């Protein structure tokens, strides 16, 4: 089955080079230079990955990333130039699965893409066809949907994976490094804040009071765990 990638970036020279490089790996690559058309493209076509270029500061790309995430769970890598830490965090908070700083090493970038695609393929092949009920949650492992007390929880792909790892191992404390490996499937070069950002977003969606945690707990200095006292 072909792997389809959409590159959305206003730099035509950069896109041309990246498209050529990815096509050498056997990917089917589409390009888009008008950010206003990206939502229609995503809604009409099925992609395995979106590479979204944003210009900083004051980029509309981050809001576009959020809009994509509202209609699709396709993995998104945000590409930015000289992004500050806050820009990286904002990208993750708006629904990106990863980011890359231009100019990047194309070999490293392609390895990152392949790792994300492997992870997505592994999930689709190995997810059991069943409904799991744990605590106040019902988890559809096929549709990758979560409900809490019969109310739908709109989790992104990575949020679902992270939540599933924690809830399926209640009481087990996971170090951030472990969660990066289990959920993202590759070394994240020490940027442990990725886990923190995703945990915060999940808490905002499942906790009645995001500041008073009932489900996902923090083991200070270690990592995170799902509170099994609710089981």
The closest alpha carbon to 56, from 84, 37, 35, 36, belongs to: 84
pLDDT recorded at residue 121? 66
pLDDT recorded at residue 186? 57
Q: Specify whether the CB–CB gap between 40 and 32 falls below 8 A.
A: no
pLDDT band at 131 (very low <50, low <70, confident <90, very high): confident
Residue with tokens 């007390």: 149
What are the domain boundaries of the chain?
A: 4-125, 128-230
User: What percent of the chain has a predicted confidence (pLDDT) above 70?
Assistant: 88
Of 61-65, 116-120, 149-153, the one with minimum mean pLDDT is: 116-120
Q: What is the mean pLDDT of residues 129-143?
A: 80
Q: What is the mean pLDDT of residues 110-135?
A: 71
Sign of the dihedral defined by the CA atoms of residues 147, 150, 152, 153, in that order: negative
Measured between its terminal Cα atoms, the distance across the chain in Å is 41
Distance CA 22, CA 39 (A): 22
Does the structure show a pLDDT above 90 at 72?
Answer: no
Q: So what CATH class is 4-125?
A: alpha beta
Of 94-98, 123-127, 172-176, the one with minimum mean pLDDT is: 123-127
pLDDT tens, position by position, 89-102: 888 888 888 888 88
CATH topology of domain 128-230: Arc Repressor Mutant, subunit A (1.10.10)
pLDDT recorded at residue 183? 84
Distance CA 139, CA 130 (A): 8
pLDDT tens, position by position, 15-68: 999 999 999 989 999 998 877 788 888 888 889 999 998 875 556 667 888 888
Q: What is the mean pLDDT of residues 174-181?
A: 87
DSSP the chain: ---EEEEE-S-HHHHHHHHHHHHTTT-EEEEE--GGGHHHHHHHS--SEEEEE--SSS-SHHHHHHHHHHH----EEEEEES--HHHHHHHHHTT-SEEEEES--HHHHHHHHHHHHHHHHHHHHH--S-EEEETTEEEETTTTEEEETTEEE---HHHHHHHHHHHTSTT--EEHHHHIIIII-S--TT-THHHHHHHHHHHHHH-SSTTS-SSEEEETTTEEEE-GGG-
């Amino acid at each position: 089955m072909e792997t389809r990638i959409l590159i959305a970036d206003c730099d035509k020279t950069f896109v041309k080079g990246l498209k050529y490089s990815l096509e050498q790996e056997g990917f089917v690559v589409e390009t888009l230079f008008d950010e206003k058309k990206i939502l229609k493209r995503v809604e009409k076509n099925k992609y395995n990955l979106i590479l979204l270029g944003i210009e900083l500061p004051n980029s509309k790309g981050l809001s576009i990333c959020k809009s994509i995430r509202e209609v699709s769970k396709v993995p998104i890598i945000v590409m930015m130039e000289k992004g500050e830490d806050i820009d990286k965090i904002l990208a993750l908070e708006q629904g990106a699965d990863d980011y890359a700083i231009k100019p990047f090493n194309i070999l490293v970038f392609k390895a990152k893409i392949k790792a994300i695609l492997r992870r997505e393929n592994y999930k689709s092949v190995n997810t059991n066809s069943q409904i799991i009920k744990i605590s106040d949650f019902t988890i559809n492992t096929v549709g990758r949907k979560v409900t809490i007390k019969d109310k739908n929880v709109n989790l992104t792909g990575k949020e679902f994976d992270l939540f599933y790892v924690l809830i399926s191992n209640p009481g087990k404390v996971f170090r951030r490094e472990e969660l990066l490996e289990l959920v993202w499937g590759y070394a994240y070069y020490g940027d442990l804040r990725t886990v923190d950002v995703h945990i915060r977003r999940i808490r905002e969606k499942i906790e009645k009071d995001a500041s008073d945690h009932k489900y996902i707990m923090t083991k200070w200095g270690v990592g995170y765990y799902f509170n099994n006292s609710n089981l």
